[in-house]
Every structure is written in C-alpha cells, then in structure tokens.
Amino acid sequence: MNENLKQQTEQVKAKFKKLGALKITLLILMVIGTVCAYVFHDYIFAVDSVFVRGISKYGFVNGLLAIVPKLIKAVQVVTIILVITTVILIVIDRLFAKNRREITVARLARSIIKWIAAVVILITVLAIWGVDTTALITGAGVITLVVGLGMQSLIADVVAGLFIVFENEFNVGDIITVDGFRGEVVSIGIRTTKLEAAGNVKIFNNSAIKGVLNQTLKPSTAKTLIDIEYGESLARVEDVIAQKLPEIKIEGIVEGITYDGVAALGASGVTLQFTAKCAEGDIFAVTRAMNARIKVMFDENGIGIPFNQLVVHVEDK
C-alpha cells in the first residue's frame, strides 16, 4: 500500500507537468501580452487612441477597432485569474501530497477552486463588455433558489461529498465496498466518487453511498482452505505444519501464516484452514501464493490432497 501511496503522490505532483507544451506556451503568451498591454496602456485605452477616435471612414472598421480595448482588458483579466489559480493549485499540490487524506482534500480543493475561477472570469468579462453584473448576480441568486428546489439530489450529492472528505470516512487510494462493488477509490469529487477494480470504473453519486465497508483501515485476512485425505494422520500433518510453515515467506504478508485447525470435514477430505494478515490491496496475490506454497509443502512431505470420490455399495442378493 506504501507503493500505491507513492504513486498517488507522484500523480498529484505531475498534474502541472501534464498541462502540455501548448497550454503552457499559451499561458506564457497571455502573460507577455498582459504585461505589454499595461506598458502601452496610454496608447491603447486613452481617449485619443486609434481604437477610440475612429481612423477609418467605414463605420464597420471603427466598430471593430473599438472592440479591441475591451478584448485586451478581457484577456488581461483572464490571464491574471488563470495565473493566480495556477499558483494556488501548485501550492496545494506541494503542501497536500503526503498521505491519502491530504491527497483527497487537495483534489476536492482543486475542483472547488477551478469552479470559483470560472465563475469569477465569467462575471468579470461580462462586466468589461458592459453587462450589468449586479442585476445578473441578483437574478442568478433567484434562479439558483428556484433551480435548487428542483435539484435537491445534486445539492445532496455536494453536501454528502463534503462530509465524506471532512469526516475522513475514506480517502483516495483506499479500497472500499459499496453496494457489493469492491474497488479502489480513484477520486472523490463534489458530486461523485469513482471506484476502480480490474480496469473497470464505477461511479457513485455521493448521496447514494451508504454503509461503506472500508477495507484499508486495518490489515485484512487472507484465507486458504486445503483438504487432506482421510487416510492421512492428522497428528503427522499438524507436526509437519508446525515445523515447515514458519519457513514459508510471502511478500505482502505483515504477519506470519497461521494454521487455524480443521475447518470442515468434507465429502472427500479434511479441510484445513490457514490465514495471514496483509494489506487489502495484496489479499488476492497473497492468497494465491499461500495456495501454491502450502501445496508444495504438502507434496514435499508426502501429504496427499484428495480428489472427489464416489463409493458405490452393491447389495448382495
């Protein structure tokens, strides 16, 4: 699980690197353009600038020139907000990438910050283009109230997502079971939580997550059931187990393999149970390795493993 945690940490740290050369180049060009616009502010936004006074005899051309200052202001605002947002996201990634809990909080914070940045950009750009944002915000509040009454499930998802994160019920990287689906938590968003298992990703609405079984908080138990023939001496078999079992070392086991005794008297043999403590993410690999190593141990010591048998009794006439 430590390896999984390292992978999650590296993924968070690589977020900024994965922006791509095109996005980084575009952001740099926007920053350069914003700086140049501030340097040549008087030439662009002054009352007697070529964009304002109209230098063409065609009204259409003058109209296009009049748009340029507003367009430059909009680009300036977008650039400043994007730079601030990017810096905040980088700081969050640097400060909150030490364990699953911090990674989970960091991802939720990133999602919230991006939404806030998008709303601020929209309102500010509309204000630059002459839209009455006060009336817009007031109207948005009324619309939000009306829509909120009809979107109670969405609100429930958001609230449930916040409680999941801040109550530390489970984190990114944990293995949990929800409604019979067992998987690793790959993301906890504002509205949904994603679990991955065997390459399949299942998405749950946060408000629909009930009765979560978190299988990562404590070591899990890998169990192996192996039959021996009824003709084998149980005392001899247990003596071999006592001597040879401690020699078996399997990667992923946090405690040694334990022999628990006779689990059942089956139709063809006596079922013996072996268990070992391991991380939940390693439970299947550990179980397979236990099956193989105990089988080899039995073979090396002449302990027979039965196959299904059918005994037929014929009545004498």
Taking only the tens of pLDDT, the chain with its 317 residues reads 445 555 555 655 555 455 556 677 777 788 887 787 777 766 666 666 666 666 666 666 666 766 777 787 888 888 888 888 888 887 877 776 666 667 777 777 777 788 888 888 888 888 877 777 676 666 666 566 555 555 677 778 878 877 887 777 788 888 888 888 888 888 887 788 889 888 888 999 888 888 888 888 788 899 999 999 888 889 999 999 999 999 899 988 888 899 999 999 988 889 999 999 998 888 999 999 999 999 999 999 998 888 776 777 777 76
Q: Identify the pLDDT of residue 1.
A: 46
Report the distance separating Cα 99 and Cα 23, nearest Å: 29
Report the distance separating Cα 35 and Cα 40, nearest Å: 9
CATH of domain 220-300: 3.30.70.100
Q: Identify the pLDDT of residue 79.
A: 85
The domain spans of the chain are 2-97+114-125, 159-214, 220-300
Residue 306: exposure state from Cβ atoms within 10 A (0-12, 13-18, ≥19): middle
Q: Identify the pLDDT of residue 168.
A: 78
Structure token digits, residue 284: 């299947």
Q: Identify the pLDDT of residue 53.
A: 61
Q: Beta strand 269-278 with 200-205: parallel, antiparallel or unpaired?
A: unpaired
- Is there a shared CATH topology between the 159-214 domain and the 220-300 domain? no
Report the distance separating Cα 317 and Cα 308, nearest Å: 29
Among 284, 259, 289, smallest CA distance to 272 is for: 259
Fold of 159-214: SH3 type barrels. (2.30.30)
Q: Identify the pLDDT of residue 271.
A: 92
